[in-house]
Structure 1
Amino acid sequence: MSVPVLPGLSALVADHPYIICDIWGVLHDGEVAFPLAVDALCRARAAGAMVVLVTNSPRPAQRVAAQLSAFGIDQTAYDGLITSGELTRHHLQAHFTGQRFFHIGPDEDRDTLAGLDLVEGADSDDADVLVATGLFGPDLDAHAALIAPAARKGVPMLCANPDRVVRDGGKIFICAGAVADVYEDMAGRCGGWASLRRRLMRPAIKFSAQKPDNQ
């Protein structure tokens, strides 16, 4: 049985009018965009498809959209954008309003937490929830020492980026998912990559179920 060779993504639109597409490694590599992939999405939309982009980025959707724009990927290529960071914000606001959080990650990720009705704790064991968006340095052992007191108290962790590593251009960087693995081994309570991936796909599927003329 031969495998058909398709002329492009747009050839699938008649039978598959909703496309959920990853971003990192598919549309860009952290340094440059992949023009052929972007063009394929544009052609699919022109053929009638609805395109929803999803990403494990721990940052809000607005910031990721700005990053895409800087790569030359504008909204002619997609209809919707869902990020792990945006879902993390919604989860924190829905379940931890007024409570204390402890952030694990670089300062550049703090916009994920900006404007939420939460209080930042000074130490990990002084928090009601840990929020891991990334690493503040390359040493995982240092992170383990920082979060060990919270693990002993059974404080839950929400991992805003379930990726363990990411390739940025030609370099490999450790991501928050690696910290979540360490914490899960310690405490057994972490909203790790599997649960967050499910939370990422559900709104993407829900968005895709909308009719384009109802947006």
Structure 2
Amino acid sequence: MTQPHPLPRLSAVADDYDILLCDVWGVIHNGRESWAAACEALTKFNEKGGHVVLISNSPRPSSDVVAQLDGLGVPRSAWKAFVTSGDATRMELARRAPGPAWIIGPDRDFPLYEGLNLTSAHGAEDAAFISVTGPYDDTTETPEDYRERLTPAAERGLELICANPDRVVQRGDTIIYCGGAIADLYEQMGGRVIMAGKPFSPIYALALKEAEGLLGRAVDRSRVLCIGDGV
């Protein structure tokens, strides 16, 4: 079995790849500030003819997250395209419109639903499916706070679409729960779950489509490198 080995720098393997699919949170920023060395490495890859496609488990559309990257100091030169789990989730939601959908998540994630003509349900009792971006309040809530509320949904066999498969994320020095933790709980309760983001296929299909547009030809998958902060 081949064992992993550390690389001293991206440039050591950069010539072997045309496309970098690069994670965002935990790789180029920590939610409070960007990491200059990582951004510089991506910029150099782009300057030498490569193409960086950022892939994020943000539950919002990529167009809504670009301003956040700018605010954190991530230079536009570090990437050429950007795909989020929010983009992949919108495709899943559009197929299920008009719902109604029981929407679980903070108000800041509402751009995910704009223009989809989804009806909002009050809870499990009148919903056709569930859409989860994360806890309503990720500063205080845990997945267990949702067990009682999710019980009737599992009993009804409602499908849950998770816009952020991450279980936890680091915000500065604090670890907070994400949508994936709620989805895991629901699955343990016998519920059906669809994951739209990493490491599942919908977001990678979108990212490779963006890469194809950048290359102007079909993507040779042997020349695609994925970079993340965990396996």
TM-score (norm 1): 0.89
1:54 counterpart residue number: 55
Closer, same or farther: CA 165–4 of 1 in aligned 2, 3 Å: closer
Q: Which moved more, 1:200-209 or 1:158-167?
A: 200-209
Q: Does the aligned pair in 1 maintain the 2:102–2:130 contact within 8 Å?
A: yes
Relative to structure 1, is the Cα distance of residues 11 and 141 closer, same or farther in structure 2, using a 3 angstrom cutoff? closer
Matched letter for residue 191 of structure 1: I
Q: Indicate the residue corresponding to 1:118 in structure 2.
A: 118
Q: CA deviation at 1:72?
A: 1.4
CA distance in 2, matches of 1:170, 1:64: 21
Residue in structure 2 matched with residue 208 of structure 1 by the alignment: 211
Shift of the 13–69 alpha-carbon distance from structure 1 to 2, 3 Å rule, reads same
Q: How far off its partner does 1:111 sit?
A: 1.3
Question: Which aligned segments of 4 or more residues in structure 1 are displaced greater than 6 angstroms?
Answer: 193-196
Whether 1:182 and 2:207 are equivalent positions in the alignment is no
**How far off is 1:213 after superposition?**
6.2
1:69 corresponding residue in structure 2: 70
Matched, 1:197 2:192: no
Instruction: Name 2:144's counterpart in structure 1.
Output: 141
State the Cα distance separating 1:134 from its structure 2 match: 0.5
SS of the residue aligned with 1:62?
helix
**Contact kept? 2:85, 2:197, Cα under 8 Å:** no
> Aligned residues, how many?
210
> % of aligned pairs identical?
35
Q: Is the 8 A contact 1:57 1:161 kept in 2?
A: yes
Go from structure 1 to structure 2 and tell me whether the alpha carbon gap of 1:211 and 1:134 turns closer, same or farther (over 3 Å shift): closer
Q: Which runs of 5+ in 1 are unaligned?
A: none
SS at match of 2:30: coil
Residues 62 and 142 of structure 1, relative CA distance in 2, 3 Å threshold: same
Give 1:193 deviation, angstroms.
Answer: 7.0
1:38/1:77 contact within 8 Å kept: yes
CA distance in 1, matches of 2:123, 2:202: 28
Aligned to 1:102: 102
What's the secondary structure of 1:73's corresponding residue?
Answer: coil
Aligned partner of 2:79 in structure 1 is: 78
Q: Deviations over 1:101-131 (max 9, x none)?
A: 0111111111111221110011122111100
Structure 2 stretches of 5 or more lacking a match?
218-231
> Are the counterparts in 2 of residues 13 and 48 from structure 1 also a CA contact under 8 Å?
no
Q: CA deviation at 1:196?
A: 6.4
Equivalence map 1:131-170=2 (5 Å): 131-137=131-137, 138-170=141-173
Structure 1 letter corresponding to 2:123: D
Q: Using CA pairs below 8 Å that are at least 6 residues apart, which structure has the higher relative contact order? A: 2
Whether the aligned pair in 1 keeps the contact of 2:57 and 2:197 (CA below 8 Å) is no
When the two chains are superposed, the root-mean-square deviation of aligned CA atoms in Å is 2.1
CA-CA distance at 1:75 after TM superposition: 2.0
Residue type at the aligned position of 1:37: A
Letter in 2 for 1:206: K
C-alpha deviation, 1:204, in angstroms: 1.3
Code of the aligned partner of 1:151: A
Which region of structure 1 is more displaced relative to structure 2, 49-58 or 203-212?
Answer: 203-212
